[in-house]
Amino acid sequence: MRTSAVLLAAGSGSRMGHKPKSLLELNGEPLIRRSARQLLDAGVTQLVVVLGHYAADIEAPLDGLPIHKVNNPDPDQGLVSSQRLGLQALSDNTNNVIMSLADQPLVTTQDIQTLLHSFESANTDMLFPFVNGQPGNPVLLSARARADILAGDSHFGCKEWRQSHAAHVQKFPSDNLHFVTDLDRPEDVAGFEKTHGMKLLWPTHWSD
Q: What is the mean pLDDT of each run of 10 residues along the chain (208 residues)?
A: 94 94 96 98 97 96 97 95 98 95 97 96 96 96 97 95 96 97 94 94 84
Q: What is the pLDDT of residues 76-94, one digit of tens each?
A: 999 999 999 999 999 999 9
The count of domains in the chain is 1
Q: Which residues contact 107 (CB under 8 A, 6 or more apart)?
A: 35, 38, 100, 137, 138, 178, 179
Residue 178's identity, in one-letter code, is H
| CATH number, domain containing residue 46 | 3.90.550.10
Q: What is the pLDDT of residue 102?
A: 95
Q: Helix H segments across 105-157?
A: 109-121, 143-151
Q: What is the pLDDT of residues 13-48, one digit of tens each?
A: 999 999 999 999 999 999 999 999 999 999 999 999
| pTM reported for the whole predicted model | 0.96
Q: What is the pLDDT of residue 205?
A: 81
Q: What is the pLDDT of residue 204?
A: 85
Residue 43 domain boundaries: 3-206
